[in-house]
Amino acid sequence: MDFNPVSEAKEIEDEIIAWRRDFHMHPELKYEEERTSKIVEEHLREWGYSIKRVGTGVIADIGKGTKTIALRADMDALPIQEENDVPYKSKIPGKMHACGHDAHTAMLLGAAKIIAEHKDGLNGKVRLIFQPAEEGGNGAVKMIEGGALEGVNAIFGFHVWMDLPSGVIGIRDGPFLAGAGIFGGRITGKGGHGASPHETVDPIPIMAETVLAFQTIVSRNVNPVETGVVSVTSVHGGTAFNVIPEEVEFKGTFRFFKPEVGELIQRRMREILEGVTKAHGAKYELNIEELTPPTINSKEMADFARKVAQKYGLKYGDVPPTMGAEDFAFYLQKVPGAFLALGIRNEEKGITYPHHHPRFDVDEDVLYLGTAMEVALAFEFLR
Ligand code: NI
């Protein structure tokens, strides 16, 4: 590479911040990213990228060659009323970029601009993925269905990170964010008079037994050095003090880092329901939906990112895993890569509120570092 990505990113820092503020003032919820994606597409076209649209998502390619590296940003905001008093406060009531996806989009736009200026030095292809609907919409799946990973050899993405000091790049091997799923169902017995339980199959004690037995999945079945969560968050049944209901409905969520733990949790929930209901002569229904797999970074790609950060003097360190989930996981199921964190916590500026909080904000002064790292990853991967 015949230029320094850090100084070039610093040169366009004002532009990156201006984009971020513009997106911040005009937040759009999942699958409604019309304005944001239009601005992104217009810039990319102007800079010479070839564009493929996938709904409100944008896939942009530049360069020639056999190797392709993909860089991804998410563009959607959250249904939250912003409480920050800043000049770039959200102009849309009830909507806010409270997870920093505005910053992700702006950082990747900055990288797009620098990469385009140096495209003759690229020994391969760079693919930029600006995706919709990360927040509970699995926009990544739509992008993959739309061809985002075709021909891609490696993928990287950034998330701004409140748990890391400003400017530090968090790089982790293996599981980083948790896999998440939801479950729901019902236990059906035989209703009747509350005074004549012997003539009924009462689903309420059967439900109670099931909820308690579910507590043994993580404590007794999951290897204690691994981790998982099973939470029954809703149980509904019955209408009157003297009526034994016909059925009880329930709902909940589960979390895990290793796919095999996720599978174990699901299998044990089925077995427990099967056994407990059979013992009491009741029936059950169980629907499990795995929403997002765990986000698992490739060790090789995490090491590559460390080497790149080191080479360009970018501060980096480890970042602890979290039970939150991220749909970047879907890309990593198909292509090796790493999801990186960019520290944005700045106590002096009062930037300490957690993600999804109405007073969440990012330390804009470090966004250029994310841009620099993206550019560096692209050129170093395509050497
Ligand atoms: Ni997010």
Average pLDDT of the residues in 134-152: 96
Nearest CA to 152 out of 365, 338, 331 is that of 331
Span from the CA of 63 to the centroid of ligand 1 (angstroms): 29
What is the per-residue pLDDT across 205-242, written as a single tens digit (0 to 9) for each? 999 999 999 999 999 999 999 999 999 999 999 999 99
Span from the CA of 158 to the centroid of ligand 1 (angstroms): 10
Query: Is it the case that residue 2 has pLDDT exceeding 90?
Result: no
In degrees rounded to 5, what are phi and psi of residue 99?
-125, -5
Span from the CA of 275 to the centroid of ligand 1 (angstroms): 40
Confidence of residue 136 (pLDDT cuts 50, 70, 90): confident
Query: Cα separation of 363 and 383, whole Å?
Result: 32
Confidence of residue 132 (pLDDT cuts 50, 70, 90): very high
DSSP state of 354: P
Nearest CA to 272 out of 187, 150, 342 is that of 187
The residue written with tokens 């002569």 in the block is: 281
- The answer to whether the Cα torsion of 351, 356, 359, 365 is positive or negative is positive
Span from the CA of 327 to the centroid of ligand 1 (angstroms): 9
Confidence of residue 157 (pLDDT cuts 50, 70, 90): very high
Pick the CATH number of 179-292 from 3.40.50.2000, 3.30.70.360, 3.40.30.10, 3.40.50.261: 3.30.70.360
Query: Is it the case that residue 124 has pLDDT exceeding 90?
Result: yes
What Cα–Cα distance (Å) separates residue 217 from each residue in 204, 296, 319, 324?
Answer: 21, 23, 28, 20
- For the chain, percent of residues with pLDDT exceeding 90: 97
The residue written with tokens 């790149």 in the block is: 308
pTM of the predicted protein model: 0.87
Span from the CA of 176 to the centroid of ligand 1 (angstroms): 14
Span from the CA of 329 to the centroid of ligand 1 (angstroms): 13
Side chain identity at 260, as an amino acid letter? E
pLDDT value for 259: 86
What residue ranges do the domains of the chain occupy?
5-176+294-381, 179-292
pLDDT value for 92: 97
- Answer for the pair 277, 230: CB distance below 8 angstroms, yes or no: no
Span from the CA of 100 to the centroid of ligand 1 (angstroms): 6
Span from the CA of 188 to the centroid of ligand 1 (angstroms): 39
The residue written with tokens 């198909």 in the block is: 334
The residues, ordered by sequence, that sit 6+ positions from 364 with a Cβ below 8 Å of its Cβ are 17, 20, 103
Query: Cα separation of 169 and 343, whole Å?
Result: 6
Span from the CA of 119 to the centroid of ligand 1 (angstroms): 30
Span from the CA of 333 to the centroid of ligand 1 (angstroms): 19
pLDDT value for 9: 98
Calculate the average pLDDT of the chain. Answer: 97
**Could you tell me the maximum CA-CA distance found in the chain, to the nearest angstrom?**
85
What Cα–Cα distance (Å) separates residue 330 from each residue in 136, 210, 294?
Answer: 13, 32, 9
Span from the CA of 229 to the centroid of ligand 1 (angstroms): 21
Span from the CA of 171 to the centroid of ligand 1 (angstroms): 17
The residue written with tokens 């037994």 in the block is: 209
Q: According to CATH, what is the number of the domain 5-176+294-381?
A: 3.40.630.10
What is the per-residue pLDDT across 277-335, written as a single tens digit (0 to 9) for each? 999 999 999 999 988 999 999 999 999 999 999 999 999 999 999 988 999 999 999 99
DSSP states of 108-175 = HHHHHHHHHHTGGG-SSEEEEEEES-TTTS-HHHHHHHTTTTTT-SEEEEEEEEEEEETTPEE--SEE
| Pairing mode, strands 243-244 and 169-170 | unpaired
Span from the CA of 184 to the centroid of ligand 1 (angstroms): 26
Span from the CA of 49 to the centroid of ligand 1 (angstroms): 26
Span from the CA of 290 to the centroid of ligand 1 (angstroms): 19
Residue 186: which H helix or E strand, with range? strand 179-188
Show the tokens assigned to 284.
């059950």
Span from the CA of 27 to the centroid of ligand 1 (angstroms): 14
Show the tokens assigned to 290.
């795995």
